[in-house]
Protein backbone atom coordinates (compact mmCIF):
# COMPACT_ATOMS: atom_id res chain seq x y z
CA UNK A 1 0.00 0.00 0.00
CA UNK A 2 1.12 3.56 -0.66
CA UNK A 3 1.67 6.03 2.15
CA UNK A 4 1.67 9.78 2.55
CA UNK A 5 4.28 11.08 4.97
CA UNK A 6 3.34 14.52 6.27
CA UNK A 7 6.13 16.29 8.13
CA UNK A 8 5.63 19.62 9.89
CA UNK A 9 9.08 21.14 10.38
CA UNK A 10 10.71 24.44 11.20
CA UNK A 11 11.32 26.72 8.19
CA UNK A 12 15.08 26.78 8.75
CA UNK A 13 15.23 22.98 8.22
CA UNK A 14 13.17 22.90 5.02
CA UNK A 15 15.88 23.54 2.41
CA UNK A 16 18.21 20.90 3.88
CA UNK A 17 15.39 18.37 4.22
CA UNK A 18 14.31 18.89 0.61
CA UNK A 19 17.93 18.50 -0.51
CA UNK A 20 18.30 15.27 1.49
CA UNK A 21 15.01 13.81 0.22
CA UNK A 22 15.72 14.63 -3.42
CA UNK A 23 19.27 13.31 -3.01
CA UNK A 24 17.77 9.94 -2.06
CA UNK A 25 15.32 9.99 -4.98
CA UNK A 26 12.18 11.07 -3.14
CA UNK A 27 9.81 13.76 -4.33
CA UNK A 28 8.21 16.15 -1.89
CA UNK A 29 5.78 19.03 -1.99
CA UNK A 30 6.59 21.94 0.30
CA UNK A 31 3.76 23.99 1.83
CA UNK A 32 4.02 27.08 4.00
CA UNK A 33 2.23 26.71 7.34
CA UNK A 34 2.04 28.48 10.67
CA UNK A 35 2.46 26.87 14.07
CA UNK A 36 -0.06 27.52 16.81
CA UNK A 37 2.32 27.64 19.77
CA UNK A 38 4.90 30.22 18.67
CA UNK A 39 2.79 31.64 15.84
CA UNK A 40 5.89 31.24 13.69
CA UNK A 41 6.32 30.03 10.13
CA UNK A 42 6.63 26.31 9.59
CA UNK A 43 6.96 24.16 6.53
CA UNK A 44 4.77 21.16 5.86
CA UNK A 45 6.25 18.53 3.54
CA UNK A 46 4.05 16.03 1.71
CA UNK A 47 5.96 12.94 0.58
CA UNK A 48 4.22 10.11 -1.27
CA UNK A 49 6.04 6.77 -0.91
CA UNK A 50 5.59 3.01 -0.99
CA UNK A 51 5.04 1.37 2.40
CA UNK A 52 8.55 -0.10 2.36
CA UNK A 53 10.07 3.39 1.98
CA UNK A 54 8.40 4.97 5.03
CA UNK A 55 11.15 4.15 7.54
CA UNK A 56 13.85 5.51 5.21
CA UNK A 57 11.95 8.79 4.75
CA UNK A 58 11.25 9.10 8.49
CA UNK A 59 14.94 8.49 9.14
CA UNK A 60 15.92 11.27 6.73
CA UNK A 61 13.50 13.63 8.47
CA UNK A 62 14.75 12.60 11.92
CA UNK A 63 18.40 13.13 10.96
CA UNK A 64 17.78 16.49 9.27
CA UNK A 65 15.28 18.23 11.54
CA UNK A 66 16.85 18.61 14.96
CA UNK A 67 15.33 20.22 18.03
CA UNK A 68 17.05 23.35 19.34
CA UNK A 69 16.55 25.83 22.15
CA UNK A 70 15.24 29.30 21.35
CA UNK A 71 14.56 32.36 23.45
CA UNK A 72 11.06 33.76 22.98
CA UNK A 73 9.38 36.67 24.68
CA UNK A 74 6.15 35.95 26.49
CA UNK A 75 3.82 38.32 28.24
CA UNK A 76 3.25 37.78 31.95
CA UNK A 77 0.69 39.61 34.07
CA UNK A 78 2.03 41.83 36.86
CA UNK A 79 0.30 41.58 40.21
CA UNK A 80 -3.40 41.01 39.93
CA UNK A 81 -4.10 43.45 37.12
CA UNK A 82 -5.04 41.57 33.98
CA UNK A 83 -4.30 44.62 31.83
CA UNK A 84 -0.68 44.94 33.04
CA UNK A 85 1.68 42.65 31.16
CA UNK A 86 5.47 42.65 31.09
CA UNK A 87 7.46 40.82 28.42
CA UNK A 88 10.13 38.42 29.62
CA UNK A 89 12.30 35.91 27.76
CA UNK A 90 11.68 32.19 28.10
CA UNK A 91 13.75 29.38 26.62
CA UNK A 92 11.70 26.82 24.65
CA UNK A 93 12.54 23.80 22.52
CA UNK A 94 11.75 24.34 18.83
CA UNK A 95 12.45 22.41 15.69
CA UNK A 96 12.40 18.71 15.21
CA UNK A 97 9.45 17.39 13.28
CA UNK A 98 5.90 16.25 13.74
CA UNK A 99 5.38 13.34 11.37
CA UNK A 100 2.12 11.75 10.23
CA UNK A 101 1.99 8.62 8.07
CA UNK A 102 -1.34 7.91 6.43
CA UNK A 103 -2.56 5.27 4.00
CA UNK A 104 -3.13 6.44 0.44
CA UNK A 105 -5.37 4.48 -1.86
CA UNK A 106 -3.57 5.73 -4.94
CA UNK A 107 -0.96 8.23 -6.03
CA UNK A 108 0.73 8.77 -9.38
CA UNK A 109 3.69 10.69 -10.73
CA UNK A 110 2.63 12.08 -14.12
> Left (φ > 0), alpha (ψ -120 to 50) or beta: where does 18 sit?
alpha
Average pLDDT, the chain: 84
User: Which of the four CATH numbers 3.30.70.120, 3.30.450.20, 3.40.50.450, 1.10.10.10 does domain 2-67+95-104 have?
Assistant: 3.30.70.120
CB of 21 within 8 A of CB of 57? yes
**Has this prediction a pTM greater than 0.85?**
no
Q: Which residues of the chain have pLDDT under 70?
A: 35-40, 68, 70-86, 88, 91-95
Amino acid sequence: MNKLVIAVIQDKDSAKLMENLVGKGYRATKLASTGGFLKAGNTTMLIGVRADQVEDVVGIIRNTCRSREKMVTTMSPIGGAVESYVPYPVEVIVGGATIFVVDVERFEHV
